[in-house]
Amino acid sequence: MPHALHAPHAPGNVLIRTAIEDENHLEVVLLRCGLCHEVDPETVSDLRALTRLLRQGASPQEIGRLILTRVHGRSGGRVDEVHDKDGFFASVADLLGKSKCVTPPLRGALLLHRFLETLQKHRLLASEAHMQVATSAAATNAVCCRLDPFSNGGLYEALLEVEKASESKSK
């Protein structure tokens, strides 16, 4: 599967070992792959667009517009149905830590929870595919935090790697 989500996420389902082809590197082996799900190309494109904007340091309005068109729009929602559009952009700024209130780095599950609250508050829709990717990312972040409690789980760094990989494939 070229683009897949893996579950269940738990430290016992992740094996880190010396790479077979190069003893100087480690490789990650996912165990119990019975709950894999292929991600459709449109959702992968949406994730790449989001990571591109994050990497470029885009404004909350730019990221908010992407959510409105790619998440809400693909789910059958219309922009004129959004409750308090300016408030939505302010909520996106809060999620990104770009507002006047100081926000500590968020763990994946808390970020997902706050994002879902934002969607509900502003009456935005999200497709099943988007929710599966978001939930998988939050769960993966939790596993990474348990494997290395001194890290932030590498969620942001992982998103940037998705973007870098897509750039290298397009060249």
Rounded to an integer, the average pLDDT of 53-67 is: 90
Q: Return the bridge partners of 100, or none.
A: none
The answer to whether the Cα torsion of 24, 168, 140, 9 is positive or negative is negative
Closest C-alpha to 106, from 66, 64, 134, 67: 134
- Which whole number is the average pLDDT over 148-171? 61
> Closest by alpha carbon to 137, among 115, 114, 112?
112
Q: Where are the domains of the chain?
A: 40-171
Of all residues in the chain, the percent with pLDDT exceeding 90 is: 25
Of 6 and 73, more confident = 73
- What is the longest distance spanned by two Cα atoms in the chain? 56
Give me the residue label for tokens 């880190």: 16
Global pTM reads: 0.66
**Residue 85 corresponds to which tokens in the numbers above?**
């559009």
